[in-house]
Structure 1
Amino acid sequence: MVAREIRRNSRRPPEDPHGVLLWRWRRNPLRRRTDVVQGWIALGLLLAVTAATPAAMFLVGDAAYRHHRQTARDEAAVRHHMPAVLVHDAPRHPEPGSPEAKITRYPVAVRFTDPHGHSRTATTDVEPALRAGSEVRVWVSDEGKITEPPLSTEQIRNRTMGAAMVAALTVPVMGAVVYGWAARRLERRNLALWDIAWARTAPRWTTST
């Protein structure tokens, strides 16, 4: 009965999760000043990251939106949607009418007139099975080269969201890097203090009596 009572009383009490998380602020004989400093650094960085993340998303997203919107305007000013005629037949898709055939495009030579009135020949992607002489629309630059269309509203939105997401991920990473750097500095200080304390205590342990 006595042994059973001792085993029951010696069971380890359940750990308080809040106490484990906040141990740097709780008074105890083993707590060092650097532990308190590290705890406040962690709290400060957590608050800073929480506040800075939405701000960074807004600022970066707004800047990206303005940039891409202006890029779209500049591209629309120098790119022209013009008719072009196929020089020869486009290849046939091996599975006509299939979902894959509807999205497949083949490079085919086309002839068109550039914005300055000069006849040009270039290659562009067209639907399968188009016959020579068929008319398609192409985007042509002021230099008379076939190019991509100006940025669409969807492309502007996607690129803006991408930039905002990168900003949202960058802020916590920077906070983690700063915390890691500070923790290493504090750990080095702790080791240095241990060396000093041991240098004072070691002679008492090693001196023979």
Structure 2
Amino acid sequence: MAGEIPPAQPPPGPPPRPVLWRWRRNPLRRRTDRLQTWIGLGVLIAVLAAAPVAAVLVGDAARGHYEDTARHQLQTRYETNATLTEDAPRHPEPGSDEEKQTRYPVEVRVVTREGRTRTTRAEVRPGLTADNTVRIWITADGEATERPLTSEEIRSRTMGWALLTAIGVALTGAAAHALTGLVLRRRNLAHWDTAWAETAPRWTTPT
């Protein structure tokens, strides 16, 4: 129909170019192009500066937490002898590497530091028979438990939290940059629609 303004069509996207092209002199360069470049540079600098600091702070807090946990564990649990009250299952592949790593939960009898006899369940090697003695960690109440955290485990967990923090900062920066890019792109398309609405009537011819 004559006089009807066709819908705006965004121009074809240019081929991928380095980010620095937005700083060159170019008649097609928009202010939003420069703004997006500066935002990207700012986000990059912020991530490079914040990631190490955040990793150190979180890692230090994690190390302190796990060291306190290890001290508490050493105060509330101890290693002692335990006597099996039943046979442990046999592994289907005797002598294999899998058998050496496998542990089965069985009932054992322990004597606490207060002299009380308790039964609890502990993980032992396959094939052990009743009345065999094993070394296990127990709580003050005589319940089987894990050994306290070692220095290597504390170090590993601390490094894990520090690494996760650095990755989190980087992902946050990438998300912020992507979001600002999306906002600027929508703004560009809105300006394109406005400019097209003003220009299109000049190209229409009454029939």
Question: TM-score scaled by structure 1?
Answer: 0.82
Which of 195, 200, 203 is 1:202 aligned to?
Answer: 200
Structure 1: how far apart are the matches of 2:38 and 2:71?
A: 49
Q: Which amino acid aligns with 1:179?
A: H
Contact 1:106-1:127 at 8 Å conserved across structures: yes
Q: Deviations over 1:55-113 (max 9, x none)?
A: 22212211111111111111111112122111133334444444333323222211112
Aligned letter for 1:67? H
Choose which of 49, 55, 58 in structure 2 pairs with 1:57. Answer: 55
Instruction: List alignment gaps of at least 5 residues for structure 1.
Output: 1-16
Query: Aligned to 1:59, what secondary structure does the other structure show?
Result: helix
- Structure showing the higher helix proportion among its residues: 1
1:75 corresponding residue in structure 2? 73
**Unpaired segments of 5 or more residues in structure 2?**
1-15
Counterpart for residue 151 of structure 1: 149
Q: Give the Å deviation of 1:181.
A: 0.7
Deviates more, 1:88-97 or 1:66-75: 88-97
Counterpart residue number, 1:122: 120
Deviation string, structure 1 residues 22-41 (Cα, Å, up to 9, x no partner): 11101111100000000101
User: Aligned-pair distance for 1:207?
Assistant: 5.6
Shift of 1:208: 4.3
1:104 correspondence with 2:102: yes
What is the alpha-carbon root mean square deviation over aligned residues?
A: 2.2
Greater alpha carbon shift after TM alignment, 62-71 vs 85-94: 85-94
**What amino acid sits opposite 1:40 in the alignment?**
W
**TM-score normalized by the length of structure 2:** 0.83
User: % of aligned pairs identical?
Assistant: 55
Post-superposition CA distance 1:155-187 (Å, at most 9, x none)? 111111111111121111111100111011111
Q: Which of 178, 181, 201 is the aligned partner of 2:179?
A: 181
Q: CA deviation at 1:124?
A: 1.0
Greater relative contact order, per chain length (Cα 8 Å cut-off, separation 6+)? 2
8 Å CA contact 1:82, 1:140 repeated in 2: yes
Give the 3-state SS of the residue equivalent to 1:22 in structure 2: helix
The answer for the alignment partner of 1:168 in structure 2 is 166
Answer yes or no: is the 8 Å Cα contact 2:19–2:37 preserved in 1: no
Runs of 4+ in 1 over 4 A off after TM superposition: none
Equivalences, count: 192
